[in-house]
Structure 1
C-alpha cells in the first residue's frame, strides 16, 4: 500500500477530492491510501509517512518548498483533474507518478 497526501493551501479544498479518490482506489483495488491536509496542518511526521505528495493547483507555489523539505516525490495535480474533482483521473495520475501498474478498467 502506497500513501498519497493531497496537499492544499490554506483552505482545505483537497478534502473534497479525498472521498472520491478513496472510493475509486477501493473499488478498483488499487493499493493507494489517500489522506489530505493543508500546508498549515502539515507536520514532519505526516510527511515522512508519505510515498507521494500531490499538490492542488492553487498550491503550485508550494511545489519547490515541499520538494526542498522532503525526499518524498511531489507533483502538481493537473487543473483538468482537480477542477472536475475527477477521482478516477487522480488515481491514474498517482499510479503514474509512483510507477505502479495502470489502474484496472
Structure 2
C-alpha cells in the first residue's frame, strides 16, 4: 500500500478531493491510501509516512516545495485535475507518479 498525502493551503480544499480519490482507488483495487492535510498542519512524522505528496496548485511557496522534495517525492496537482476536483484523474496521476501500473489501466 502506498501513502499519498494531498497537501493544500487549507484543509477544506484537499478534503474535497479525498472522498472521491479514496472511492476510486478502492473501486479499482489500487494500493493507494489517501490522506489530506493543510500546510500548517504538516508534521515531520506525517511526512515520513508518505510515499508521495501531491500539492494543490499554489499551496506552498517554492522554498517549502524544495524542502518537501528533499524528503519525499512531491508533485503539484495539474490545474485541470484540481480545478475540476476530478478524483478519478487524481488517482490516475498518483499511479503514474508512483509507477504502479500503465496509464491506460486506471
Q: TM-score, normalised by structure 1?
A: 0.89
Aligned residue number for residue 2 of structure 1: 2
Q: Alignment partner of 2:88: what SS?
A: helix
Q: TM-score, normalised by structure 2?
A: 0.89
Unpaired runs of 5+ residues, structure 2, are: none
Aligned residue number for residue 58 of structure 1: 58
- Aligned counterparts, 1:72-91, within 5 A: 72-91=72-91
Unpaired runs of 5+ residues, structure 1, are: none
RMSD (CA atoms): 1.7
Answer 1 or 2: which has greater helix percent.
2
Aligned residue number for residue 66 of structure 2: 67
- Asked whether the equivalents of residues 67 and 73 of structure 1 are also in contact (C-alpha less than 8 Å), the reply is no
Aligned residue pairs total: 104
Question: Which of structure 1's runs of 4+ aligned residues deviate more than 4 A?
Answer: none
